């Protein structure tokens, strides 16, 4: 796993591990994922919430560094979860992110020590995602396709049904000046074709990373969000031509094109 300090905004692979399974924590951090997320929310049943929090606290106290997905504001577990991340100063994923005031409160109560990934997974969150992404403390957004699909009454893997929400999140991130967002999960662990299709769709829309639910998904996700050889060749050709060139191979070159070429080369990080 890469250094947490600089990787939240650039991570491609983010792997969930259930908070009540401490036997999996070290395995997850050794999996090759850019970031590991200990999940105190959906992966943990109500009767195991306190135990999961205790396991997470003990593991973080040993100096391990991960992101923690807490339970949403307004739930009966939120205060204790917030206390945990505040003490550790670790990054946090906030589910059901839809209220900028709630996110501002998290930033204030953690003294700005806990960088926030806002998980957009409700219709209200989609409609308010520009404000959510612009909230102080939010460094990146992620898409919760499963929860949103449930609310909308559509399938979580239906690209057409969720295209509006995904595109809105990409645009909101750009408008707020934060890194491009992280796509949601592919629930079919053993379906390589579904995973590959989901990655290609998300990448085409402007996502630059993906939430993963199993280590078997990591390699495909890392490759899928890396620049292709043809993209790298194009970017090098554009930049090698110099900033005064107005066309390369009969294609217009101006500042936005140069900026895109620089971004492609900057993202050429292949760790898996």
The model's pLDDT over 10-47, given as tens digits with 9 standing for 90+, comes to 999 999 999 999 999 999 999 999 999 999 999 999 99
Which pLDDT score, from 0 to 100, does residue 175 have?
97
Mean pLDDT throughout 62-81? 96
Residue 181 has pLDDT above 50, yes or no: yes
3-class DSSP assignment, residue 69:
strand
Mean pLDDT throughout 72-97? 96
Name 30's Cβ contacts closer than 8 Å, sequence gap at least 6: 1
Residue 270 has pLDDT above 60, yes or no: no
- Nearest Cα neighbor of 185 from 140, 122, 143, 125 is 143
**124-151: per-residue pLDDT in tens?**
999 999 999 999 999 999 999 999 999 9
Which pLDDT score, from 0 to 100, does residue 226 have?
81
What's the CA gap between 167 and 104, in Å, rounded?
25
Instruction: Using the structure block, give the residue that is written with the tokens 């009966």.
Output: 76
CATH number of 4-225: 3.20.20.60
Average pLDDT, the chain: 90
- Nearest Cα neighbor of 11 from 182, 216, 261 is 182
Indicate the domain borders of the chain: 4-225, 226-272
Which pLDDT score, from 0 to 100, does residue 1 have?
43
**87-116: per-residue pLDDT in tens?**
999 999 999 999 999 999 999 999 999 999
Which pLDDT score, from 0 to 100, does residue 271 have?
38
Which pLDDT score, from 0 to 100, does residue 188 have?
92
Which pLDDT score, from 0 to 100, does residue 98 have?
97
Which pLDDT score, from 0 to 100, does residue 228 have?
67
∠ CA 176-126-90, rounded to 5°? 60
Query: Which residue did the predictor score with more confidence, 261 or 8?
Result: 8
Q: Model confidence at 267, in pLDDT bands (50, 70, 90)? A: confident
pTM score over 0.75? yes
- Nearest Cα neighbor of 146 from 198, 99, 79, 70 is 198
Query: Could you give the percent of the chain with pLDDT greater than 90?
Result: 80
What's the CA gap between 180 and 154, in Å, rounded?
25
Which pLDDT score, from 0 to 100, does residue 73 have?
95
**What is the crossing angle of helices 159-176 and 145-152, to 10°?**
120
Query: Which residue did the predictor score with more confidence, 190 or 233?
Result: 190
């Amino acid at each position: 796993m890469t250094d947490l300090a600089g990787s939240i905004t650039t991570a491609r692979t983010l792997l969930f591990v259930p908070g009540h399974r401490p036997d999996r924590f070290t395995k997850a951090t050794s999996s090759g994922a850019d970031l590991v997320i200990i999940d105190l929310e959906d992966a943990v049943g109500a009767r195991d919430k306190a135990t999961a929090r205790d396991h997470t606290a003990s593991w973080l106290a040993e100096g391990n560094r991960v992101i923690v997905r807490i339970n949403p504001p307004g739930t009966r577990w939120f205060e204790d979860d917030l206390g945990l991340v505040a003490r550790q100063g670790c990054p946090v994923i906030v589910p059901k992110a839809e209220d900028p005031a709630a996110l501002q409160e998290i930033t204030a109560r953690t003294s700005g020590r806990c960088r926030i990934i806002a998980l957009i997974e409700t219709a209200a969150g989609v409609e308010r995602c520009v404000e959510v992404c612009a909230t102080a403390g939010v460094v990146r957004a992620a898409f919760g396709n499963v929860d949103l699909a449930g609310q909308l009454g559509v399938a979580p893997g239906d690209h057409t049904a969720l295209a509006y929400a995904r595109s809105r999140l990409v645009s909101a991130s750009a408008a707020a000046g934060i890194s491009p967002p992280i796509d949601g999960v592919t629930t079919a662990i053993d379906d390589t074709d579904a995973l590959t299709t989901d990655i290609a769709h998300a990448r085409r829309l402007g996502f630059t990373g993906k939430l993963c639910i199993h280590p078997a998904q990591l390699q495909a996700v890392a490759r899928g969000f890396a620049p292709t050889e043809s993209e790298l060749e194009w970017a090098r050709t554009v930049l090698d031509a110099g900033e005064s060139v107005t066309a390369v191979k009969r294609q217009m070159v101006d500042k936005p094109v140069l900026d895109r070429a620089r971004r492609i080369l900057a993202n050429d990080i292949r760790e898996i």
